[in-house]
Amino acid sequence: MENEETREKFAKAVREYTPRIFKMIYNMTGNYEKTRDLTQDVFLKAWEAYDDFRGESSLYTWIYRIALNRVYQYRRKKGRKDIISIEKIPDIESESNPEENIINDFEKKEIKQKIKELPDIYQNVIILRYFENFSYSQISRTLEIPVGTVRSRLHRGLKIFKSSLRSMYDT
Amino acid sequence: MTHKKYVKLIQEYIDGEISRANKRELEEHLKTCTECRKKLEDIKSTVEILRSSRQEVKTPESLDNEILNKTIYRKVKPVFNWKLAAAGIAALLILGILIFTYVKILSPPTSMKKAPQDIEKIILTHKDSTEKKTEKDKPVEIQRKDKIEKDIIDQKFEETRLVFPEEGSVVGDSFDVVVILRKDEKEIELNIDGEVKKYRAPDSKILFIESRNLPFLDRGMHYISLGKGRSNLMFYKEG
């Protein structure tokens, strides 16, 4: 397995995808240090299983799926409550977009908390669509669900998210 | 079309996934339906709030290098395969028995045996050690340490090549990397586990690099190659 071509291909994937996988795991866990460990685990697992990668999906999709499973596994082990507590996050840079001044940093944290509290099936599609800008078909391939399900989960997820926001502003 | 269907289209519209025909139809519908317009604005603002909460998190520096060291550059203990070893021993035993049988039964009487011929040996021996400096950022200069068989030296090598370690070699604490240089080449780049270092051999066609002039190598698996793009060989260091 470990010929030079394989190693070079994998090294390229590590350099290219580490920031994206790190960001995705961070969005799902909110724990900076744990995200670092989990990101390493994901690539270790990917390297061990690299022989099984058949090229049916893109390499990124394949690694992304490993990352999702790793996050689920971590959640099951730690218990969801444990990992959604917001901690101090180092080196955060706000994205510059027009909506930025609509809400403040405190609200941002609250909103992120609400996203993390969403059931996994809705959280995944929302993160992939609105944070990672995946298309419906990319989400469908990544999560191995039909495109119609992607759309309905987005719709339902947004609905749940909106009602949780309402409760946030009501309190 | 029912409102339920329009709700589905509104979601696709916001996500930029709507077909051209459906888009036209929805836009026509929105002109007259207040309820759907409200629904559209509602979903749109929810998505905007979601997106606005997105924060860029900085990936820890050198995380990718840490991952590479634990994956493609990792040092692993070779696994001793008992089944393979047992099969090997069994094969050797059978071979031994066959040879013994052949010698006993088929070989001519001792008096008729030919005197054994000398086995040609090519041994690269070291007589002295004349390593030079090991200054940082400068190529390590290494001279030829011994007299090599003339016929080996006089050969014209088309390409610089790594003679030792070979793929799968097992080395001890002290060993030499041996490189045969192309006729006009005086300097090589040696890549060990991703760390590249230059070595120079001003007056020699064969370069010996003692392990103490290499980057520190702990016990386990390592990769070695000449410069970029040349084939990468794995060797194992015993400690």
Q: What is the CA radius of gyration of chain B?
A: 35
Q: In this predicted model, which residue has the larger pLDDT, A51 or A167?
A: A51
Closest to B70 (Cβ–Cβ): which among A36, A44, A103? A44
Distance from the Cα of B158 to chain A's closest Cα (Å) equals 23
Residues 6+ apart with CB under 8 A from B99: none
Nearest to A10 among B56, B71, B234 (CB): B71
Tell me which of B38, B44, B45, B63 to substitute to probe the interface with A (most A C-beta atoms closer than 10 Å).
Answer: B63
* Cα A28 to Cα A71: distance, rounded to the nearest angstrom: 8
Q: What's the average pLDDT block by block, 10 residues per block, for chain B (239 residues)?
A: 80 93 93 92 90 80 89 64 74 80 56 40 38 50 49 58 78 81 80 82 75 80 75 75
Residue A157 has what pLDDT? 94
Residues 99-158 of A with CB under 8 A from B: 99-100, 102-103, 107-108, 111-112, 115, 126, 129-131, 135-136, 151-152, 154-155, 158
Which of A91-95, A153-157, B181-185 shows the highest mean pLDDT? Answer: A153-157
Q: Is B24 exposed, middle or buried (0-12, 13-18, 19+ CB in 10 A)?
A: exposed
Question: ipTM score of the complex?
Answer: 0.72
Euclidean distance between CA atoms A55 and B193, whole angstroms: 28
Lowest mean pLDDT among A35-39, A124-128, A160-164, B155-159: B155-159
Q: Given CB atoms, is A59 within the 8 Å cutoff of chain B?
A: no
Overall average pLDDT of the A65-86 stretch: 70
Three-state SS for B204?
coil
| pLDDT value for A15 | 93
Chain CA centroid to CA A88, Å? 19
Identify whether the C-beta of residue B180 lies closer than 8 Å to the C-beta of residue B205. Answer: yes
Please count the other Cβ atoms lying within 10 Å of the Cβ belonging to residue A78. 13
CA–CA distance, A54 with A45 (Å, rounded to integer): 15
Residue B66 sits at φ, ψ, to 5 deg, of -60, -45
Q: How far apart are CA B34 and CA B44, in angstroms?
A: 15
